Amino acid sequence: MALVSAKDMLEKARDGKYAVGQFNINNLEWTKSILQTAEELKSPVILGVSEGAGKYMTGFKTVAAMVKAMIEEMHITVPVALHLDHGTYDGCYKCIEAGFSSIMFDGSHFPIAENIEKTKELVAVCNHLGLSIEAEVGSIGGEEDGVIGKGECADPEECKKIADLGVTMLAAGIGNIHGKYPANWEGLSFETLAAVKKKVGNMPLVLHGGTGIPTDMIKKAISLGVAKINVNTECQLSFQAATRKYVEEGKDLVGKGFDPRKLLAPGAQAIKDTVKEKMEIFGSIGKA
Ligand code: 13P
C-alpha cells in the first residue's frame, strides 16, 4: 500500500470515538518496529518526523524513500501516513517535495495573523496535492528537538480562525507538554478542549505530548474530539531501558552479543510493546 494522507483515518477515528497514534521515528529500527506493530494489530498509524530527526536520518528524502520501501518490502497493508512534526515553513515545502503524505505547519510562535497567512498558503498547496495538514494554536509546553513551547492554552476563537482555513486537523494547546510531565503538572485543561471543540465543530483535534498522560485523561480527551495522539519520548524511554538492561546484564559480551542486530533487538521489541500498549488505550486496534 502506498503512503496515505491522514484525512480519512482521522475522520473515521473522530466518528468512531478512538484516536490514531502518531509515533515519531528516529531510525530504521524505530520505523520497522512501529510498522510491524501496526500491521500485526491491524491499526492505522502515523509516522511522525521532527525536523531534527529528519536531519539525523540525512534528510527528508532518505526518510520518505526508507518508509515507502519498508511498506512494500514488509507487505504493510494498513494505512500509513508519513507526517512532518512541528514543521517550519521551509521544512513543510521540503517534506512536500520529498514525498511525505502529511505535514504539520507549526506557526504557533508567530502572531496569529502570520500563522493564518502561512497556514492558508500551505493548505492550498496540500489540498492541490491531496496531502493532509495539521496546524497549531497555543503552544505545547516543554522542548522537542529544539522546538520550545511555553505551554499556554489555545484561544478557542483563534482555533476557529485556523480551522476555517480548511486544515485537516488542529493541535490546540490544552496544558499538554512534550517529554515527561512534572510532578506538579495540573493535568489537561478539558475546559479549554471543550471550548475549542465547540468552536471548531467536526475538526479532528490532535493531542501532542502523549507520553505519560494517564489513561483516564486520554479517554476523556478522545470523547471530547481528539482523534490523533502524538507519542515520542515514551518509545525513547522504553528503548533506553531495554538496551541498558541488555548491556548491564553483560549480554553484549557473550558470543556475538555485540552484533547490532542482537544489541538493538531488545530496544526494538520494547518500542513494539509501547506502541501496542498505546494503540490499545487509543482504541485503534482492528480499525485498519
Ligand atoms: P512526547 O514526546 O511527550 O510523547 O510528545 C510527542 C509529540 O507531541 C510529538 O509532537
Residues 44-55 have pLDDT tens digits of: 999 999 999 999
Taking the C-alpha atoms of residue 64 and residue 101, their distance in angstroms, rounded to an integer, is 9
Question: Would you say residue 265 has pLDDT above 70?
Answer: yes
The finding on whether 231 has its CB within 6 A of some atom of ligand 1 is: yes
Residues 215-260 have pLDDT tens digits of: 999 999 999 999 999 999 999 999 999 999 999 999 999 999 999 9
Please tell me the predicted confidence (pLDDT) of residue 138: 84
Question: Would you say residue 139 has pLDDT above 80?
Answer: no
- Taking CA atoms only, the protein residue closest to ligand 1 atom 1 is 209
Q: Which of 261, 216, 228, 287 is nearest to 24 (CA)?
A: 228
Distance from Cα 250 to the centre of ligand 1, integer Å: 32
The finding on whether 173 has its CB within 6 A of some atom of ligand 1 is: no
Residues present in the chain in total: 288
Distance from Cα 234 to the centre of ligand 1, integer Å: 8
Please tell me the predicted confidence (pLDDT) of residue 150: 63
- Which of 232, 237, 271, 275, when mutated, tests ligand 1's pocket best, judged by the most ligand atoms within 8 Å of its CB? 232
What is the three-state SS of the chain?
CCCCCCHHHHHHHHHHCCCEEEEECCCHHHHHHHHHHHHHHCCCEEEEEEHHHHHHCCCHHHHHHHHHHHHHHCCCCCCEEEEEECECHHHHHHHHHHCCCEEEECCCCCCHHHHHHHHHHHHHHHHHHCCEEEEEECCCEEEECCEEECCCCCCHHHHHHHHCCCCCEEEECCCCECCCCCCCCCCCCHHHHHHHHHHHCCCCEEECCCCCCCHHHHHHHHHCCEEEEEECHHHHHHHHHHHHHHHHCCHHHCCCCCCHHHHCHHHHHHHHHHHHHHHHHHCCCCCC
The finding on whether 142 has its CB within 6 A of some atom of ligand 1 is: no
Mean pLDDT of the chain: 96
Distance from Cα 84 to the centre of ligand 1, integer Å: 13
The finding on whether 211 has its CB within 6 A of some atom of ligand 1 is: yes
CA 208 to ligand 1: nearest atom: 8
The finding on whether 210 has its CB within 6 A of some atom of ligand 1 is: yes
The finding on whether 230 has its CB within 6 A of some atom of ligand 1 is: yes
Q: In this structure, what C-alpha cell is assigned to residue 34?
A: 512501529
Q: In this structure, what C-alpha cell is assigned to residue 54?
A: 529528519
| Over residues 151-156, mean pLDDT | 87
- Taking CA atoms only, the protein residue closest to ligand 1 atom 9 is 230
CA 144 to ligand 1: nearest atom: 2
Taking the C-alpha atoms of residue 239 and residue 193, their distance in angstroms, rounded to an integer, is 32
| Over residues 49-69, mean pLDDT | 98
Taking the C-alpha atoms of residue 45 and residue 225, their distance in angstroms, rounded to an integer, is 18
Q: Which of 185, 244, 242 is nearest to 211 (CA)?
A: 185
Distance from Cα 231 to the centre of ligand 1, integer Å: 5
Q: Which of 25, 17, 27, 73 is nearest to 48 (CA)?
A: 25
Distance from Cα 120 to the centre of ligand 1, integer Å: 25
The finding on whether 24 has its CB within 6 A of some atom of ligand 1 is: yes
- Given CA atoms 86, 90, 92, 98 in this order, what sign does their dihedral have? negative
The finding on whether 51 has its CB within 6 A of some atom of ligand 1 is: no
Taking the C-alpha atoms of residue 35 and residue 99, their distance in angstroms, rounded to an integer, is 18
Distance from Cα 94 to the centre of ligand 1, integer Å: 22
Poorest-pLDDT segment among 24-33, 144-153, 205-214: 144-153
Q: Which residues are catalytic?
A: 85
Structure confidence at residue 149 as a pLDDT band (50, 70, 90): low
